[in-house]
Amino acid sequence: MSENYDLIVIGAGMAGVAAANKCGAAGWRVAIVDALPYGGTCALRGCDPKKILRRGAEIIDSARLMQGKGIDPGDLSINWADLMAHKRGFTDPVPDKMEKGLLGNGVETLHGAARFTGSNTLEVDGTAYRSERFLVAAGAMPRPLSFTGADLAIDSTDFLNLEALPKRVLFIGGGFVSFEFAHIAARAGANPIIVDRGARPLRGFDPDLVEMLIERGTGIGVDLMRETEIVSVAETNGAFTVEVKSGDQTWTVETDLVVHGAGRVAALADLNLEAAGVDYSDKGIVVAPHLQSTTSSAVYAAGDSADTDGMPLTPVAVIEGKVAASNMLKDAQAVPDYAGIPTAVFTVPEVARVGMLESEAKDAGHDVDVRFTDTGGWYSNYRIGETSAAAKVLVDKSNGKILGAHLFGPEYGELINFFGLAIKLGLTAKQLRSMTAAYPSVGSDLGSLL
Ligand SMILES: Cc1cc2nc3c(=O)[nH]c(=O)nc-3n(C[C@H](O)[C@H](O)[C@H](O)COP(=O)(O)OP(=O)(O)OC[C@H]3O[C@@H](n4cnc5c(N)ncnc54)[C@H](O)[C@@H]3O)c2cc1C
Ligand SMILES: NC(=O)c1ccc[n+]([C@@H]2O[C@H](COP(=O)([O-])OP(=O)(O)OC[C@H]3O[C@@H](n4cnc5c(N)ncnc54)[C@H](O)[C@@H]3O)[C@@H](O)[C@H]2O)c1
């Protein structure tokens, strides 16, 4: 057994690295361990590579929107292999860079799968370690699916590494992963189908704007089957027959690829948390609001593997990693501030949200002024040929404060950040409207939305 550490961090993703760097820089003896190359989901298998592929889709879409308006898209197309190489130009250097950054902060970097052996001990591929504290930042993994042939579906990581994109692609689930990837696939020449068991996909987003997104998707060839369950998947000669069921009707869909977009669960199964006396569920480690395990004082958790009020998103993972680190360093009980954290589904165009949904605001008893605007005809959309765009801003009538903002349109994934800041600072709609934006920028539409 090696000597005592102040902290061992499990998982070198956004949450783990933020915490390890902070505690290492503060002079603690810190080690971090990952079973995979350093970088975690966001940088290697999620947000960043996804948005590089999306760039290809944006260019195709932008050119098509300008057809007959001075641009001839001709046979403009995505070269999938080259786009993938462009993606690897970003992802390949990440593990080295991240490890160097950690070493620079005095953090020891370990490689292998960690597994608890007691409340203050764990082993990494057979080597034992002891620490005063642990931060579990192990992230999430695709939810195990139980229908026959579920193992024939590839996951989001596999999709982001595809060497070639086949023509027919079926996505299981109507969430972030399926919508984002289907929008990329359609612009790359595929015919995507999204199969969702619910009546309303992207449930965390404004239903009116999601319906506009679905209609926009239909226009580019993204099909959606609602209230439809997957019964089974079977493979014959490299193609797949997917049996689906809606109500009492059952039918089959032929496809070349099946992609898992049916949600993710905390990646805790291999950690042997029972040995450390740590309570957990599919949502993550059960923690107090200050991110300490409710059943083991030596263990903290952050990011996708912590069961908190924060959504499983990168900005949340970073905030939680930093707050957990600060609480451990100071023996304090600070609570992460989740106010005003925006989220976007990076379809083309994107749908974005910050703060409350209209239904949440009304259920919470707010007297809500719902300011809905169809911005499809506005200058900023006319300029680029987009006709499908809208915004819904929720203002509390009692004090003028912004309760929520919901946007669907090009560049609105940037515009949403202004609303996030306004909600975090508790600004009123009038105060936000007092901002002067560069003109003509999408930011200059803000005043008119309020
Ligand atoms: C396809 C996709 C796209 C996404 N796009 C976005 C986006 O655009 N914006 C956004 O905000 N969020 C996005 N997300 C979510 C975001 O990636 C996650 O919320 C974020 O990366 C979580 O960070 P984390 O540090 O909690 O976990 P992770 O980054 O997943 O890191 C966990 C690490 O722990 C390691 N690990 C697990 N178990 C062990 C063990 N036993 N021993 C050693 N190491 C272990 C794993 O190998 C992994 O590297 C996306 C997710 C996916 C899947
Ligand atoms: N842009 C982003 O921020 C971004 C992008 C991708 C992923 N993520 C994160 O990753 C998480 C996982 O994403 P996701 O898209 O896999 O999940 P999700 O939770 O967004 O959506 C899953 C969907 O699958 C449906 N579903 C579940 N089981 C099903 C089944 N058997 N058959 C048919 N439909 C089924 C659900 O009803 C739901 O609509 C997200 O919650 C998000 O936090 C974020």
pLDDT tens digits, one per residue of 176-225: 999 999 999 999 999 999 999 999 999 999 999 999 999 999 999 999 99
Mutate to test the pocket of ligand 2, among 197, 224, 260, 347 (most ligand atoms within 8 A of CB): 197
CA of 261 to the centre of ligand 2 (A): 5
Q: What confidence score (pLDDT) does residue 312 get?
A: 98
Indicate whether residue 154 lines ligand 1 (CB < 6 A): no
**Does the beta carbon of 170 sit less than 6 angstroms from any atom of ligand 1?**
no
Q: Atom of ligand 2 at shortest distance to CA of 201? A: 39
At residue 97, the pLDDT reads 98
The answer to whether 124 is annotated as binding is: no
Close Cβ partners of 67 (under 8 Å, ≥ 6 residues apart): 73, 385
Separation of alpha carbons 171 and 200, rounded Å: 15
What does the alpha-carbon distance between residue 174 and residue 202 come to, in Å, rounded to a whole number? 6
Contact 359, 329 (CB under 8 A): no
Locus of tokens 């349109």: 409
Length of the chain, please?
Answer: 450
201 alpha carbon – ligand 2 mean position (Å): 9
Tell me the ligand closest to 160's alpha carbon.
Answer: 1
Q: Specify whether the CB–CB gap between 398 and 367 falls below 8 A.
A: yes
pLDDT at residue 34 above 60? Answer: yes
Ligand nearest to the CA of 35: 1
Higher pLDDT among residues 1 and 28, named by residue = 28
Confidence class of residue 1 from pLDDT cuts 50, 70 and 90?
low
Nearest to 194 by CA among 148, 253, 138, 121: 253
pLDDT greater than 90 at residue 2:
no
Question: Which has the closest alpha carbon to 271: 7, 15, 34?
Answer: 34
Would you state the structure tokens that stand for residue 232, as one six-digit string?
Answer: 């089974």
Task: Name the residue with tokens 């590089």.
Answer: 52
- Distance (Å, rounded) from C-alpha 29 to C-alpha 41? 26
Per-residue pLDDT of 257-314, as tens digits, reads: 999 999 999 999 999 999 999 999 999 999 999 999 999 999 999 999 999 999 999 9
Q: Which residues line ligand 2 (CB under 6 A)?
A: 145, 172-178, 180, 195-198, 201, 229-230, 261-264, 311-313, 343-346
Q: What is the pLDDT of residue 213?
A: 98
For the residues 83-103, what does the mean pLDDT come to? 98
Ligand-binding annotation for 180, yes or no, is yes
Ligand nearest the Cα of residue 303 is 1
Q: Which residues contact 130 (CB under 8 A, 6 or more apart)?
A: 1, 2, 3, 4, 5, 120, 121
246-257 average pLDDT score: 98
Going along the chain from its start, the domains and CATH numbers come out as 4-47+86-142+265-330 (3.50.50.60), 150-262 (3.50.50.60), 349-449 (3.30.390.30)
- Please check whether residue 31 is in contact with residue 40, taking contact to mean a CB–CB distance below 8 angstroms: no
Closest C-alpha to 405, from 200, 179, 212, 205: 205
CB 200 within 8 A of CB 373: no
The ipTM assigned to this model is 0.98
How far, in Å, is the centroid of ligand 1 from the Cα of 132? 25
Is the predicted pLDDT of residue 88 greater than 60, yes or no?
A: yes
- Sign of the torsion angle spanned by Cα atoms 40, 41, 42, 48: positive
Two tokens, residue 222: 């993204």
Query: Which atom in ligand 1 lies closest to the alpha carbon of residue 271?
Result: 41
CB of residue 406 inside a 6 A radius of ligand 1: no
Which ligand 1 atom sits closest to the C-alpha of 124?
Answer: 42
Query: What confidence score (pLDDT) does residue 291 get?
Result: 98
Residues 14-38 have a mean pLDDT of 98
Tell whether the model's pLDDT for residue 7 goes beyond 80. Answer: yes
pLDDT tens sequence across 105-124 = 999 999 999 999 999 999 99
| Residue (of 354, 348, 359, 357) closest to 411 by Cα position | 348
Report which DSSP code applies to 270. Answer: T
Non-local (6+) Cβ contacts of 62 within 8 A are 384, 385
